Chain A
């Protein structure tokens, strides 16, 4: 094992960790080892302060008032949007629509684009490795609109089984919606190729980038994505804010999802005219502080460097994979080449029990089905435990995870 060489805490990581206040806390008298980053990430001071600063110094509504506070708030909110658009290389900031999270972003597409474009005889293709957020909206719309929902299966090794893709994608397919990086298997799907395959049959492609945008450079234009969604809180930003990216012509043609203030240009008793993008999809007073916070998160990540984050997580995950594979009775779900997370089972031990034992040592992991029941059904298991990493995690923390798992194995051994 080359672990012993790796356990020198990189000075860059030490200084990064000092920017996250919560990482200083203890849990049950032990230093917090936070390995539940696929659920949500911790927030750096820059993000917390950007939101605090808004509430303390220029809290006001946006796009309306002509007073100083409103102008400052509008500039901060729209400035954040511009930086987020650049972060994913959107051609224009009109194409980055603020939503509550990735789930809401997919629902906007399902309801707005779906209603206008889907009906009996049409097909929507998703995959067996989707998060519930990219399954349930399509199931709901399927009932209402009568299209057929199909699934790309997965292999026993946790990769998309693309052998039947030629049949699954066909002239009836109107949309191929798939996850970029699986939140359970860690699988990094060949997104650009899948988009290309969708386009080849005249279908659109939606990418659920919730587990990719936080961890690797993502370029919406290079991917040629028609829609791409992610949540802010998984990339050091606050909860309650996410992004729907869409191609301009598609978004222009889509009817509004919700009606209300800010999304209209003109309201008369006889009817209304919609506002331009992105406001057409942002009815009502938005999550202003959260938008500003997400802008600060994106600035922070760019300062750290997305390439560095990807490489750091890759090193950490490879090390964790190697160490976990040696724990007696431990079974890792998914392929060896993966993003920064590892889900696993340990013998017959229930993931809740594992998580509780680890928690006693300050180690936070996720236990359950991670909002992806179909994957677990497919793999024939009820639930799994998951450790997921981010830019501030260390090799030493992986060691603590392994020690905790060995301890749990002993406690629950029959």
Chain B
């Protein structure tokens, strides 16, 4: 548990970075995890294939909220092409913890929303 809720995760949970909304986002994506009621909205501004501004809004457990906050902090300045290659391991590296199969869904919800938004999907292909 001490490992699961390490200081950095609690810090991002209690003081989320880039939480809220941006003006005129180019990409806007909303997703939920009906299993636990987590919700997330991701907004991105993209110029010349690079993320220049980003924000998230939502509610959920510490893992999902910290994951969203860490992702937002990381992606500004990154190219859309690089972000499209992001996967599970990138998020686990950001979080710096090991996660069991049930909580993994919490950690990956923001990534799921981010990638669906980047690919312009209406809905994540299950």
Residues in chain A within 8 A of chain B (CB atoms): 28, 350-353, 356-357, 359-361, 367-369, 376, 382-383, 411-412, 414
Residues on A with C-beta less than 8 A from B5 are 353, 356-357, 411
- CB B88 to nearest CB in A, in angstroms, measures 19
Docked-complex contact B1 and A360, CB < 8 angstroms: yes
- CB A339 to nearest CB in B, in angstroms, measures 25
Interface 0/1 of B10-25, CB less than 8 Å to A: 1001100000000000
Residues on A with C-beta less than 8 A from B14 are 412, 414
Q: Which of B60-96 contact A (CB under 8 A)?
A: 60-63
Interface size of B as a range: 10 to 19
Residues on B with C-beta less than 8 A from A368 are 35-37
Q: How many A-B pairs with Cβ below 8 Å?
A: 45
* Pairs A–B under 8 Å by Cβ, sample size 11: A28-B1, A350-B36, A350-B61, A352-B106, A353-B5, A356-B4, A357-B1, A360-B4, A367-B36, A368-B36, A382-B37
Given contacts A350-B60, A353-B62, A368-B35, A360 and B2 within 8 Å (CB-CB): yes
A28 nearest CB neighbor, chain B only? B1
Residues on A with C-beta less than 8 A from B35 are 368
Docked-complex contact B61 and A353, CB < 8 angstroms: yes
Known: A28-B1, A368-B37. 16 other contacts (CB 8 A): A350-B60, A350-B62, A351-B36, A351-B61, A353-B5, A353-B61, A353-B62, A353-B63, A356-B4, A356-B103, A359-B1, A360-B2, A382-B37, A383-B37, A411-B5, A414-B14
Q: Which of B1-54 contact A (CB under 8 A)?
A: 1-2, 4-5, 10, 13-14, 35-37
- 7 shortest interchain CB distances as A-B pairs: A360-B1, A382-B37, A350-B61, A352-B61, A353-B62, A383-B37, A353-B61
Instruction: Give the CA-CA distance A361 to B1 in the complex, in Å.
Output: 9
B60 nearest CB neighbor, chain A only? A350
- CB B122 to nearest CB in A, in angstroms, measures 24
Instruction: Give the CA-CA distance A376 to B37 in the complex, in Å.
Output: 10
B106 nearest CB neighbor, chain A only? A352
Residues on A with C-beta less than 8 A from B63 are 352-353
Residues on B with C-beta less than 8 A from A359 are 1
Residues on A with C-beta less than 8 A from B106 are 352
Instruction: Give the CA-CA distance A312 to B10 in the complex, in Å.
Output: 39
A369 nearest CB neighbor, chain B only? B37
Residues on B with C-beta less than 8 A from A383 are 36-37
Residues on B with C-beta less than 8 A from A376 are 37
Docked-complex contact B36 and A411, CB < 8 angstroms: no
Instruction: Give the CA-CA distance A28 to B13 in the complex, in Å.
Output: 24
Given contacts A356-B103, A360-B2, A412-B13, A382 and B61 within 8 Å (CB-CB): no
- CB B22 to nearest CB in A, in angstroms, measures 24
B14 nearest CB neighbor, chain A only? A414
Instruction: Give the CA-CA distance A368 to B61 in the complex, in Å.
Output: 11
Docked-complex contact A352 and B1, CB < 8 angstroms: no
Instruction: Give the CA-CA distance A412 to B62 in the complex, in Å.
Output: 8
Instruction: Give the CA-CA distance A350 to B106 in the complex, in Å.
Output: 11
Instruction: Give the CA-CA distance A414 to B65 in the complex, in Å.
Output: 14
Instruction: Give the CA-CA distance A411 to B59 in the complex, in Å.
Output: 18
Residues on A with C-beta less than 8 A from B10 are 411-412
Docked-complex contact B59 and A382, CB < 8 angstroms: yes
Instruction: Give the CA-CA distance A352 to B4 in the complex, in Å.
Output: 12
Residues on B with C-beta less than 8 A from A414 are 14
Instruction: Give the CA-CA distance A414 to B61 in the complex, in Å.
Output: 14
Instruction: Give the CA-CA distance A368 to B37 in the complex, in Å.
Output: 8
Residues on A with C-beta less than 8 A from B37 are 368-369, 376, 382-383
